[in-house]
């Protein structure tokens, strides 16, 4: 957790640092968590929120559905977004994230087990920060 400074310069309630991992395959979630831990990234955040599809990811980001009432001013440090999701694709999620002023600057890292060059190009065109 990190402290947030109030207008008068005093510390207020602490802000939770999170990563949003959007992945529908549990094996890939385990691998992603392992990679984040191996590189010390999990030491820098309070939680990794896992969304199993694009709709759940958007609900989390915008405080809707099962995340209604969540403080949406607390955005994740970054989103690790699978391109190949059931229903709404990762590229469609990215497009919605970039089209909303609340999340347009949120760092988004796309990832995929596929090797489709078109997805890489389209991801960068839509505003992905990185692709792995």
The structure tokens 């977004």 sit at 81
Closest to 52 in 3D by CA, of 90, 18, 17 = 90
Taking only Cα atoms into account, the Rg of the chain, rounded to an integer number of angstroms, comes to: 15
Given a contact cutoff of 8 angstroms between Cβ atoms, the answer to whether 16 and 47 are in contact is yes
pTM attached to this predicted model: 0.87
Mean pLDDT computed over 78-90: 96
- Helical H runs in 2-83? 26-38, 54-62
Please tell me the distance from the alpha carbon of residue 39 to that of residue 21, in angstroms, as a whole number: 16
Mean pLDDT computed over 35-45: 95
């Amino acid at each position: 957790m990190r402290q947030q400074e109030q207008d008068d310069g005093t510390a207020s309630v602490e802000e939770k640092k999170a990563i949003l991992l959007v992945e529908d395959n549990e094996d890939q979630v385990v691998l992603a968590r392992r990679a984040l831990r191996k590189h010390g990234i999990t030491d820098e955040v309070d939680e990794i929120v896992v969304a199993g599809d694009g709709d759940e990811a958007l609900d989390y980001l915008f405080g809707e559905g099962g995340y209604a009432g969540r403080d949406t001013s607390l955005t994740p440090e970054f989103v690790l977004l699978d391109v190949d999701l059931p229903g709404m694709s990762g590229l469609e999620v990215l497009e919605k994230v970039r089209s909303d002023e609340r999340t347009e600057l949120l760092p988004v890292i796309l990832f995929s087990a596929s090797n489709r060059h078109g997805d890489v190009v389209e991801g960068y065109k839509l505003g992905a920060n990185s692709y792995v």
